[in-house]
Amino acid sequence: MALETVQALSDKPFGRVSITLPRFAFQYFLKPVYGEFCERYPDVQLEISVTDEAVNLLDKGHDVGIRFDCK
C-alpha cells in the first residue's frame, strides 16, 4: 500500500540523497556509473561524502552509508 502511494506521487525519482562511502568504494563502484546516473535521474541530487573513517549516519545527516568490516 505504501509503495503504491509513493509511486503515485511521481513517475520520476527526485530529491536529495546523501551518501557516505570509503574511497575505494567510490572509485570502483560509484564513480564509473555516476555520469549515467545523473543523466538518467536529473532530478536527484547526490551529496557524496568520501571518507575512510567511521561515520554516524544520523549525526551527519546521511541517508545511505557503505562500510566494510574485514574482521
All three cell numbers of 69: 568490516
**Domains of the chain with CATH codes:** 12-55 (3.40.190.10)
Residues near 44 by beta carbon (within 8 Å), at least 6 away in sequence: 13, 14, 15, 16, 17, 37
Below-50 pLDDT ranges, the chain: none
* pTM of full prediction above 0.95: no
pLDDT, tens only, 55-66: 898 899 999 999
Q: What share of the chain is helix, strand, coil (3-state, %, to 5)?
A: 40, 25, 35
The DSSP-derived string for 8-29 is HH-SS--EEEEEEE-HHHIIII
Please identify which residue in the block is written with the cell numbers 563502484: 29
pLDDT, tens only, 46-56: 999 999 998 89
